[in-house]
Amino acid sequence: MRTKFTALLTVLALISSVFFGLSSALAADSKYAITADAEVQAQIDAFAAIKKMFDDSAPLADIKAKYEEKFKTQVAAIDATIAEGNPKINDNVLFFLDAAVKGDMNAAQAKQAVDKGLQWYFYFLTKSMFSKQVRPALEAKDTAKAKVELEKAIQIYEQVLEPTVVKRDAKFKTKMQDELATVVIPSLQKDVAAGDLDNYKLHYQMYDKTLIKMFSYAALTYAEVSPTKPVADQPAAMTEGYFFFSSVYSYLKGGSAADADYILKAFATGKASELDLAKIKTAMNRAMIGKVREYVLKAADYASQGKSIEAQVYAMEGNMFLAAQEVFISEKLGADAYTAAVLNGVQFAKAIAANDVKTAQAHTFQVMKTLAKLNGLSFIIGTKSVEVNGVKNTITNASFANAKTNRTLVPTRYAELLGATVTFQPTTKKIVINYNGTTTELLPNEAAVTVNGEVNAEKKLDQPVVALKGVSYIPMRAVANLIGYEAFYAKGEVLIVK
């Protein structure tokens, strides 16, 4: 079976850029040697013109009219691709503009809504170009058309999005701009020129997830600075945070809906005094961990089915969401821990490309071991020591492996360590686990699970609850899955990761 290692070499180059730095020669015009598209440039120029209207203190009603004239229809087309229930660009931008026109919000809020709302639009527009224009052209072996459409996306990135990437790099000491300019975008150009669809898919994920990292860090910036600004400037800063996070809400929601909702609602209050930076960091980190977990498991599953390219795409996505946690890992565990995690991610991707699922799982475990120190639980079966978010705890009763079922059983205390509330009903001997608004009920010696008052056949336990010497033991993997966690096992050690 043919495998693709070129993109893996790109990942190695990306790591080199993170830890050793890359230099890039900037051309006088576009550093990417592209031919500008007139229609795309007209949109970019319209964006700049609207921002200048704010700077010139033009009437807000005129600015709203200009937005509707130049962008409302185009933005609506992008909004149509956003799933119902997720924030929409037009709805939000026009809400702020209407409120500003009425005097219910100030001009600074309206300006940030338009500025960050249109950055959100242009980001999604590049995604649409990559997936609905470039990719189909490559599939049709029309490299000329693919090149034209790719250059349109690069034109937008360079003029609209790259300046924000540069700002985030300056704030967080990251190298996203270098990675995109010297590795990712040149690789996409080479893929298109060669008609290489498989590597194009992989490199596109690098582009997309780096932008997700950028928007996430931008939101994190405003979670930090909004409360420190003068009271008069706080509403505009909160608006920036809200729009930056809305740009990535739908992606992080897939990692942890509760955490993504928490962040969105925190900014939506408009009250900087209600922001809790530590909680927002934790929520964002948890959502990103959920995405890593999702993609590494999908990659292994596809590799086991012999679907090499699909497996490699998911492996790349998992690695890029791991890279998005650079700040979180480095801040808590140190730069060396981040380096080690990323290197394990690369080895994981190589194993996936070689269809070596066993080796891939070994490196997955090491990645998850790092992430569990941020948000998770780890323990060695048979011991009373449990590490929660990197902090060691000692509990009264040790876990054990059931020799008959080959399942790990732990005291209910473990569920509490994950943030659940556990109660025991002496009469029925029922165990009730409450977590994030969901109530799960378990009975000793029964595999049935009741969720929010109804028996859920799909969540039937593979190992019933066991009562020993007055202590109830629950099957760790099954219960972790019930409350939205995933269990990983290697040589007697267990990781429970959000």
Please name the residue that has the structure tokens 């990645």. 367
Tokens of 1: 């079976």
pLDDT at 3: 45
Nearest to 202 by CA among 288, 348, 362, 319: 319
Structure confidence at residue 52 as a pLDDT band (50, 70, 90): very high
Beta bridge partners of 430: 425
**Mean pLDDT to the nearest integer, 270-292:** 95
pLDDT, mean of residues 305-326: 94
pLDDT at 10: 56
| pLDDT tens-place string over residues 82-132 | 999 999 999 999 999 999 999 999 999 999 999 999 999 999 999 999 999
pLDDT confidence of residue 1: 38
CA distances from 217 to 13, 244, 285, 366, 467 (A): 22, 9, 11, 25, 47
Tell whether pTM > 0.85. yes
Count the neighbouring beta carbons within 10 Å of the beta carbon of residue 379: 26
Q: What is the three-state SS of 322-384?
A: HHCCHHHHHHHHCHHHHHHHHHHHHHHHHHHHCCCHHHHHHHHHHHHHHHHHHHEEEEECCCC
Per-residue pLDDT averaged across 406-415, rounded? 90
| 291: pLDDT strictly greater than 70 | yes
pLDDT digit string, tens, across residues 200-245 = 999 999 999 999 999 999 999 999 999 999 999 999 999 999 999 9
Strand-strand pairing, 438-442 and 430-435 = antiparallel
Whole-number pLDDT of residue 25: 36
Grade residue 7 by pLDDT with cuts at 50, 70 and 90.
low
Check residue 49 and give left, alpha or beta (phi > 0: left; psi -120 to 50: alpha): alpha
Q: Mean per-residue pLDDT for 322-327?
A: 96
For residue 252, pLDDT beyond 70? yes
CATH topology for 385-497 is Copper Amine Oxidase; Chain A, domain 1 (3.30.457)
394: exposed, middle or buried (Cβ count in 10 Å: 0-12, 13-18, 19+): exposed
List all residues 6 or more positions away from 430 whose beta carbon is below 8 Å from its beta carbon. Answer: 424, 441, 442, 443
Contact 208, 179 (CB under 8 A): no
pLDDT of residue 468: 87
Under DSSP, the state recorded for 31 is T
**CA–CA separation, 128 vs 79, rounded Å?**
11
Q: What is the mean pLDDT of residues 262-280?
A: 96
pLDDT interval class at 469 (50, 70, 90)? confident
Between the CA of residue 76 and those of 115, 118, 227, what are the distances in Å?
Answer: 17, 12, 33
> Between these two residues, 166 and 12, which has the higher pLDDT value?
166
Give the pLDDT score at 278.
96
Q: Indicate if the pLDDT at residue 268 is higher than 70.
A: yes
The β-bridge partners of 467 are 472
State the chain's maximal CA–CA distance in angstroms.
79
Q: Please, which pLDDT band fits residue 447 given cuts at 50, 70 and 90?
A: confident
Confidence check: pLDDT of 15 > 70? no
- H-state helical runs in 158-307: 162-172, 176-179, 185-194, 197-225, 234-253, 257-268, 277-304
pLDDT of residue 436: 83
Inform me whether the pLDDT recorded for 58 exceeds 70. Answer: yes
What integer pLDDT is reported at residue 454 of this predicted model?
86
Question: By the 8 A CB rule, do 424 and 412 touch?
Answer: yes
Q: Which residues touch 475 (CB under 8 Å, ≥6 apart)? A: 407, 408, 409, 461, 462, 463, 464, 465
Q: Can you say whether residue 336 is alpha, beta or left, with left for phi > 0 and alpha for psi between -120 and 50 degrees?
A: alpha
Could you tell me the pLDDT band of residue 31, with boundaries at 50, 70 and 90? Answer: confident
203 or 454, greater pLDDT: 203
- HSE-CB of 433 using CA atoms within 13 angstroms: 28
pLDDT at 45: 98
User: Whole-angstrom Cα distance, residue 281 to residue 486?
Assistant: 21
Which tokens belong to 15? Answer: 């790591």
Residue 19 has pLDDT above 90, yes or no: no
How many CB atoms lie under 10 A from the CB of residue 454? 8
5 pLDDT more than 60: no
* CA 360/CA 369 separation, integer angstroms: 14
Q: Kindly report, residue by residue over 142-186, the tens digit of the pLDDT.
A: 999 999 999 999 999 999 999 999 999 999 999 999 999 999 999
- Domain map (residue ranges) of the chain: 6-275, 385-497
CA nearest 15: which of 338, 311, 314, 353? 338
Percent of the chain surpassing pLDDT 90: 79
Question: For residue 21, what pLDDT is reported?
Answer: 39
| 158/444 Cα distance (integer angstroms) | 60
Average pLDDT value for the chain: 91
pLDDT at residue number 439? 92
pLDDT of residue 41 exceeding 80: yes
Its sign, for the CA torsion 38, 44, 50, 51, is negative
